[in-house]
């Protein structure tokens, strides 16, 4: 894969130090908190693009363990402190959005504004999906120093409207194009496809509470055909390979290759890839990198012999941990299975069993896979099966698997073959044809979606709460408490916002508005 150095972080540093003058505009006084007498809209837009990625990645990373993509060490926990960072990033984004909105409206920068509006909608949808609420109508207003929180339903409806506005702005010719675009390199048509795809995602997310609206909304988007349909449209953030002065490498690479592997992979996830089909999933050696072919034993396998564990060790050098395993940590950082080439920008596992080092593989030039074409096909498979929207669930399911295989195996040179991919697809589609109920069929769709989502814990978390699938996810091997159906309002907001109506939720068992599945449906 082409290795891209993220030079824009340095540009943003300049934004915080000096005023900018690369665009000849009659700029008004900047109303945001950057403290500049004037601001370059390109720098602000770049800042918004980076902040959006930071918010999405942090949320996704928060639920990689919950959804068994990586090992969850111990109980689910209260989740109280896990939202402080994403919340702060979100409202820093929204504050700077206000500045760009003013500049764009004053100078007819419709493309700048349209891109920012799409990202703003995504930011708010993510907050609602995790917390169930957010400050929206009173947010960042001098008239409301202690803003109230809006309902998730109201925010979703507002974001549908904002995305419509974004599409209008993106469709309006502008004399000034953004100078840099970290996602689509200035391709406005792709931003419009993203806006429509985000709407499709929202309609699917709410199908349990508004089936008629979801059916009509998804059908309209599919029939128009202007949504993410190919890898060229994929919405992803690309990391670089530079370590200094600002580290642009993928965070998973930093955590697994700079020193030693800093966490355990999930035995359950690796077993789904390795052991549940007639042959291992072709993506396995792209997702997971093995540092050793020596089996763990003794003090390095503290779960050995315990009847509590489903796996303990799955063999073949895939050194991980069961869901909820919080046994003591031995000195095994140079032996654990680690993130591979996709999406972390690490090393492809070709069976040489070298220790992870920062000069290996793609050297950190991975991606944050946010909304990919393969994901859309799985969404449409679910929408066709459960709502009856246009198309064929069978075809969407097969397309989703093949698109994921092409994406992952094309990321770096590896040993996957067309034959191995065909065998995998044929086995899944055979199982799908033998399923006798829609529940069984949906389980297959969401399981394949889950396997394609590696690196995106956000969508896996949403899917699990909406559908309760995959049914094959490992149960906690030790008492883990209640599965978080939502996250607490950040303590940073509770402690500083004195609005009397702002009350912390009683439990993470509280469900967001679109989750109508019964309590206890997920463990």
Q: Which residues of the chain have pLDDT under 50?
A: 1-37
Distance CA(290)–CA(347), nearest Å, equals: 9
Distance CA(30)–CA(416), nearest Å, equals: 52
Distance CA(488)–CA(506), nearest Å, equals: 9
- E-strand stretches of 271-359: 288-289, 338-339
**Alpha helices, H only, 392-437:** 393-409, 418-434
**Overall fold of domain 40-182+485-513:** 1.25.40
Alpha-carbon 53 to chain mean position: 9
Residue among 389, 381, 378 nearest 214 (CA):
389
User: Would you state the pLDDT for residue 79?
Assistant: 58
What is the per-residue pLDDT across 24-78, written as a single tens digit (0 to 9) for each? 333 333 334 444 336 899 999 999 999 999 999 999 999 999 999 999 999 998 6
284: how many CB neighbours lie within 10 A of its CB?
A: 20
User: Would you state the pLDDT for residue 81?
Assistant: 67
Angle, CA of 507, 55 and 344, to the nearest 5°: 110
- Do 369-467 and 40-182+485-513 have the same topology in CATH? no
SS3 197: helix
Can you give the residue ranges of every domain in the chain? 40-182+485-513, 247-366, 369-467
412: how many CB neighbours lie within 10 A of its CB?
A: 18
User: Would you state the pLDDT for residue 174?
Assistant: 80
Strand partners, 148: none
User: Would you state the pLDDT for residue 31?
Assistant: 39
What is the per-residue pLDDT across 301-311, written as a single tens digit (0 to 9) for each? 999 999 999 99
Phi-psi region of 446 (alpha: psi -120 to 50; beta: other; left: phi over 0): alpha
Phi, psi of 299 (to 5 degrees): -65, -20
User: Would you state the pLDDT for residue 26?
Assistant: 33
Sign of CA dihedral 437, 439, 444, 449: positive
Buried/exposed code over 292-302 (b: 16+ C-beta within 10 A; e: otherwise): beeebeeebbb
User: Would you state the pLDDT for residue 175?
Assistant: 80
Contacts of 139-144 with CB under 8 Å at 24 or more apart are 139/91, 139/94, 140/91, 140/94, 140/95, 140/98
Specify whether the CB–CB gap between 446 and 470 falls below 8 A. yes
Sign of CA dihedral 140, 145, 151, 152: positive
430: how many CB neighbours lie within 10 A of its CB?
A: 9
Strand partners, 519: none
Strand partners, 134: 150
What is the per-residue pLDDT across 80-105, written as a single tens digit (0 to 9) for each? 568 999 999 999 999 999 999 999 99
User: Would you state the pLDDT for residue 55?
Assistant: 98
CATH assignment, 369-467: 1.20.120.840
Percent share of the chain, pLDDT over 90: 91
Distance CA(382)–CA(376), nearest Å, equals: 10
Q: What is the dihedral of CA 127, 130, 133, 136, to 10 degrees?
A: 0
Distance CA(178)–CA(113), nearest Å, equals: 10
Please give the radius of gyration of the chain, using alpha carbons only, rounded to the nearest integer: 23
Residue at token pair 């763990």: 296
Residue among 286, 454, 248 nearest 364 (CA):
248
Distance CA(400)–CA(428), nearest Å, equals: 12
Contacts of 439 (CB under 8 A, 6+ apart): none
Contacts of 26 (CB under 8 A, 6+ apart): 106, 107
Distance CA(120)–CA(204), nearest Å, equals: 19
Phi, psi of 84 (to 5 degrees): -60, -50
**β-strands 133-134, 288-289: how paired?**
unpaired
């Amino acid at each position: 894969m082409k290795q891209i150095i993220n030079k824009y972080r340095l540009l943003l540093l300049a934004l915080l130090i000096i005023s900018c003058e690369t665009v000849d505009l009659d700029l008004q006084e900047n109303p945001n908190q950057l403290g500049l007498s004037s601001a370059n809209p390109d720098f602000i837009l770049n800042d918004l693009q980076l902040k959006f990625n930071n918010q999405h990645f942090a949320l996704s990373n928060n639920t990689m363990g919950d959804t068994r993509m990586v090992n969850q060490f111990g109980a689910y926990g209260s989740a109280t402190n896990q939202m402080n960072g994403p919340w702060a990033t979100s409202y820093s984004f929204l504050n700077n959005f206000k500045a760009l909105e003013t500049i764009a409206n004053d100078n007819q920068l419709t493309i700048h504004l349209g891109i920012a509006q799409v990202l703003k909608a995504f930011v708010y949808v993510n907050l609602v999906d995790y917390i169930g609420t957010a400050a929206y109508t009173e947010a960042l207003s001098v008239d409301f120093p202690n803003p109230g929180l809006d309902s998730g339903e109201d925010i979703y409806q507002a974001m549908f409207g904002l995305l419509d506005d974004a599409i209008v702005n993106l469709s309006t010719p502008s004399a000034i194009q953004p100078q840099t675009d970290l996602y689509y390199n200035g391709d406005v048509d792709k931003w419009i496809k993203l806006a429509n795809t985000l709407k499709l995602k929202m309609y699917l997310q709410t199908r349990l509470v508004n089936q008629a609206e979801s059916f009509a909304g998804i059908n309209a988007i599919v029939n128009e055909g202007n949504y993410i349909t190919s890898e060229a449209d994929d919405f992803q953030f690309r990391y670089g390979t530079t370590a200094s002065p600002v580290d642009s490498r993928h965070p998973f690479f930093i955590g697994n290759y700079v020193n030693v592997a800093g966490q355990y992979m999930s035995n359950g996830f690796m077993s789904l890839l390795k052991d549940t089909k007639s042959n291992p999933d072709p993506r396995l050696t792209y997702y997971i990198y093995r540092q050793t072919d020596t089996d763990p034993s003794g003090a390095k396998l503290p779960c050995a012999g315990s009847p509590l564990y489903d796996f303990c060790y799955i063999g073949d050098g895939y050194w991980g941990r069961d869901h909820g395993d919080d046994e003591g940590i031995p000195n095994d950082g140079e032996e654990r299975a680690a993130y591979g080439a996709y999406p972390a920008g690490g090393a492809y596992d070709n069976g040489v069993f070298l220790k992870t080092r920062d000069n290996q593989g793609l050297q950190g030039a991975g991606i944050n896979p946010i909304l990919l074409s393969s994901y859309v096909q799985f969404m449409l498979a679910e929408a066709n099966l459960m709502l009856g929207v246009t198309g064929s669930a069978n075809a969407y399911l097969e397309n989703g698997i093949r698109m994921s295989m092409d994406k992952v195996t094309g990321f770096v040179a590896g040993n996957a073959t067309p034959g191995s991919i065909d065998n995998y697809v044929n086995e899944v589609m055979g199982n799908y044809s033998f399923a006798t109920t829609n529940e069984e069929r949906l389980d297959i769709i969401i399981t394949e979606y889950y396997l394609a989502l590696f690196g995106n814990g956000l969508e896996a978390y949403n899917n699990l709460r909406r559908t309760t699938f995959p049914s094959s996810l490992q149960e906690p091997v030790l008492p883990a408490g209640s599965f978080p159906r939502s996250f607490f309002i950040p303590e940073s907001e509770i402690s500083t916002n004195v609005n009397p109506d702002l009350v912390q939720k009683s439990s993470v068992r509280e469900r967001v508005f679109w989750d109508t599945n019964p309590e206890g449906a997920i463990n």
